[in-house]
Amino acid sequence: MKFSCSRQKLNEAVNNVQRAVAAKSPIAALEGILLQVQDGKLKLCGEDLEISMTTTIDADIQQTGGVVINAKLFSEIIRKMPEDQITIETNDKLIIYIKCGKSDYKIIGIPENEFPELPTVNEANTFSLPGEALQSMIRQTLYAVSDKDTKPAHKGSLFEINQKTIKIISVDGYRLAIRQEDIDYDGEAKFIVPSKTLGEIEKLINEKTENVKLTVGGKHIIFQIDDYLVISRLIEGEFMNYRSAIPTTHSTELKVNTRKFINTIDRMSMLLNERMRTPIRCRVENDLIKVSCNSALGQAYDEFDVEASGEDLEIGFHDKYMLDALRFSETDELKIYMNGPLSPIVLLPSEGESFTFLVLPVRLRNEG
Cα separation of 61 and 39, whole Å?
A: 8
If DSSP codes are grouped into helix, strand and coil, which group holds residue 72? Answer: helix
pTM (global) more than 0.75: yes
Q: E strands, 20-109, where?
A: 32-38, 41-47, 51-58, 60-63, 65-70, 85-90, 95-100, 103-108
Is the torsion defined by CA of 197, 203, 204, 210 positive or negative?
Answer: positive
pLDDT of residue 367: 54
Answer whether 19's CB lies under 8 Å from 75's CB: no
pLDDT of residue 149: 67
Residue 23 CB neighbour total at 10 angstroms: 9
Answer whether 265's CB lies under 8 Å from 319's CB: yes
Is the torsion defined by CA of 246, 249, 251, 256 positive or negative?
Answer: positive
Residue 205 CB neighbour total at 10 angstroms: 22
Where do you find CATH 3.10.150.10 in the chain? 2-114, 125-242, 246-359
If DSSP codes are grouped into helix, strand and coil, which group holds residue 137? Answer: helix
What confidence tens digit (pLDDT) does each residue in 102-130 have? 999 999 999 999 999 998 887 678 999 99
Cα separation of 135 and 204, whole Å?
A: 9
Q: Under CATH, domain 2-114 is a member of which superfamily?
A: DNA Polymerase III, subunit A, domain 2 (3.10.150.10)
Q: In what order do the strands lie in the sheet with 60-63?
A: 60-63, 2-6, 85-90, 95-100, 103-108
If DSSP codes are grouped into helix, strand and coil, which group holds residue 19? Answer: helix
pLDDT tens digits in sequence order for the chain, 368 residues long: 999 999 999 999 999 999 999 999 999 999 999 999 988 899 999 999 999 999 999 999 999 999 999 999 999 999 999 999 999 999 999 999 999 999 999 999 999 999 999 988 876 789 999 999 999 999 999 999 998 867 899 999 999 999 999 999 999 989 999 999 999 999 999 999 999 999 999 999 999 999 999 999 999 999 999 999 999 999 999 999 999 999 999 999 999 999 999 999 999 999 987 776 789 999 999 999 999 999 888 999 999 999 999 999 999 999 999 999 999 999 999 999 999 999 999 999 999 999 999 999 999 987 54
Chain CA centroid to CA 104, Å = 38
Q: Which residues pair with 223 in a beta bridge?
A: 214, 230
Answer whether 216's CB lies under 8 Å from 70's CB: no
pLDDT of residue 12: 96
What confidence tens digit (pLDDT) does each residue in 169-200 have? 999 989 999 999 999 999 999 999 999 999 99
Answer whether 235's CB lies under 8 Å from 154's CB: no
Cα separation of 143 and 327, whole Å?
A: 10
For every residue of 183-198, DSSP letters joined together read: -S----EEEEEEHHHH
Say which CATH topology domain 125-242 has: DNA Polymerase III; Chain A, domain 2 (3.10.150)
Please give the backbone phi and psi of residue 165, each rounded to the nearest 5 degrees, phi first.
-130, 140
What confidence tens digit (pLDDT) does each residue in 337-361 have? 999 999 999 999 999 999 999 999 9
Answer whether 359's CB lies under 8 Å from 343's CB: no
β-pair type (2-6, 85-90): antiparallel
Q: Under CATH, domain 246-359 is a member of which superfamily?
A: DNA Polymerase III, subunit A, domain 2 (3.10.150.10)
